[in-house]
Amino acid sequence: MAIEGVDEAYLLPCGQDAAILWEHVTVGQLDEHELDCPHCQAASAGFVALREATGELAEAELAPPRDLTERIMRAVRTERRRDAFIPIADNDLGPIRVAAQAAAVVVRFAADQTDGVTARSCTVQQLPGEPDGWCAVRLEVALRYGVDGMAAVDRIRELVGAAARELAGFEPAWIDVTVVDIWPGGRGA
Amino acid sequence: MNVGRTVVETPVAEKIAALTALDTPGVIRLEPSISALAASLSRRALSGWRGPGRDGLPPTAGVRAEISGDDVSVEIALAVELGRPVPDVAAAAQRRVADALTELGGFAKAAVEILVVDVDHI
Q: Assign A29 to helix, strand or coil.
A: coil
pLDDT, tens digit (0-9, with 9 covering 90-100), for A140-164: 999 999 999 999 999 999 999 999 9
CA pair distance A126, A104, nearest whole angstrom: 12
pLDDT in tens, B81-90: 999 999 999 9
B115 in contact with A, Cβ within 8 Å: yes
All residues at 6 or more sequence positions from A58 whose CB lies less than 8 Å from its CB, including other chains: none
Best A10, A66, A71, A79 member to test B by mutation, with max B CBs in 10 Å, is: A71
Q: What are the residues whose beta carbons fall under 8 Å from the beta carbon of B2, sequence distance 6 or more?
A: none
Sorted by where each starts, the structural domains of chain B and their CATH numbers stand as 10-32+59-120 (3.30.70.1350)
Is the CB of residue B43 less than 8 Å away from at least one CB of chain A?
yes
- On whether any CB of chain A is under 8 Å from the CB of B87, the answer is yes
The Cα–Cα gap between A8 and A60 comes to 36
Q: How many helices (H) and strands (E) does chain A have?
A: 6, 5
The domains found in chain A, sorted by start residue, are 18-82 (no CATH), 84-183 (3.30.70.1350)
A102-115, pLDDT tens digit by residue? Answer: 999 999 999 999 99
Confidence of residue A39 (pLDDT cuts 50, 70, 90): confident
Q: B41 to chain A: nearest residue by CA?
A: A53
ipTM of the complex as predicted: 0.87
Q: What is the 3-state secondary structure (H, E, C) of B49-76?
A: HHCCCCCCCCCCCCEEEEEECCEEEEEE
Half-sphere exposure of A123 (CA within 13 A, CB side): 7
Question: Which residues are registered as beta bridge partners of A85?
Answer: A99
CA distances from A33 to A16, A143, B37, B39 (A): 9, 40, 25, 26
Interface-testing mutation among B117, B120, B122, with chain A (most A C-beta atoms within 10 A):
B117
- In Å, how far is B31's CA from the nearest CA of chain A? 7
